[in-house]
Chain A
Amino acid sequence: AQTVTQSQPEMSVQEAETVTLSCTYDTSESNYYLFWYKQPPSRQMILVIRQEAYKQQNATENRFSVNFQKAAKSFSLKISDSQLGDTAMYFCAYRSGGANNLFFGTGTRLTVIP
């Protein structure tokens, strides 16, 4: 069974600094997708970034980038130039290439300090 582990329940970062959130996963499949979702206090789940396992190049979306290490089954999220609006829960998620389900980690609560 697929599992997603986020070992950092809480993190904080100073505004304008860079922070990295960790995520590891366990799978025996070769075709899968990884995602980072953001859940601000409004509780709305927002897709931040996605990565296809077959792509070696790390995905980037503006200030958000990932470090995808397939052999190590690691998928960390880097937030550059942190902004107050980045304060939220961040969830890492895994989806098998042949399945419909998203499996989520338990989340990391990020606080950006002004």
Chain B
Amino acid sequence: SQTIHQWPATLVQPVGSPLSLECTVEGTSNPNLYWYRQAAGRGLQLLFYSVGIGQISSEVPQNLSASRPQDRQFILSSKKLLLSDSGFYLCAWSEQGLARGYTFGSGTRLTVV
């Protein structure tokens, strides 16, 4: 069966520090991968998605970037965090060509201080 792993679960980082959040999927190949952010009391905002290794699409301009170095690995990064980067970050995957909805990871709560 397919599983998605996301870490760390919580993170407190100072303003100006770098960020690296990792997401991996097991049990499938060539998945679509996504990074979402959920601000407090808000819905989910799509940040990045990837349909293959090295292929990244950005939905909103921001202080963050994403990379997909391997088929089932998706990384969210920042060189210098801002206070506004605080939030709950969710990774998700879906099968190519199928609209069965996404499967989400357990999320990372990021607090920038």
Chain A residues proximal to chain B, CB less than 8 Å: 33, 35, 37, 42-47, 50, 52, 91, 93, 95, 97, 100-107
Cβ B107 vs Cβ A43 within 8 A: yes
Cβ B102 vs Cβ A102 within 8 A: yes
| Residues from chain B with Cβ under 8 Å of A45 in the complex | 44, 90, 92, 102, 104, 107
| Residues from chain B with Cβ under 8 Å of A43 in the complex | 88, 106-107, 109
The prevalent SS among residues of B at the interface is strand
CA distance A88 to B32 in the complex (A): 27
Cβ A47 vs Cβ B49 within 8 A: no
Nearest-CB distance from B25 to chain A (Å)?
A: 15
Indicate with 1 or 0, residue by residue over B83-113, a CB within 8 angstroms of chain A CB atoms: 0000010101010000111111011010000
Q: Is B43 an interface residue (CB 8 A)?
A: yes
Chain B residues proximal to chain A, CB less than 8 Å: 32, 34, 42-44, 46, 49, 51, 59, 88, 90, 92, 94, 99-104, 106-107, 109
The prevalent SS among residues of A at the interface is strand
CA distance A102 to B103 in the complex (A): 12
Contact A44/B106 with A35-B101, A50-B101, A101-B59 known, Cβ cut-off 8 Å: yes
- A-B residue pairs, 8 tightest by C-beta: A45-B104, A106-B43, A33-B99, A104-B44, A104-B43, A47-B101, A35-B101, A43-B107
Contact A91/B46 with A45-B90, A52-B99, A102-B101 known, Cβ cut-off 8 Å: no
Cβ B49 vs Cβ A50 within 8 A: no
Contact A50/B100 with A43-B106, A45-B90 known, Cβ cut-off 8 Å: yes
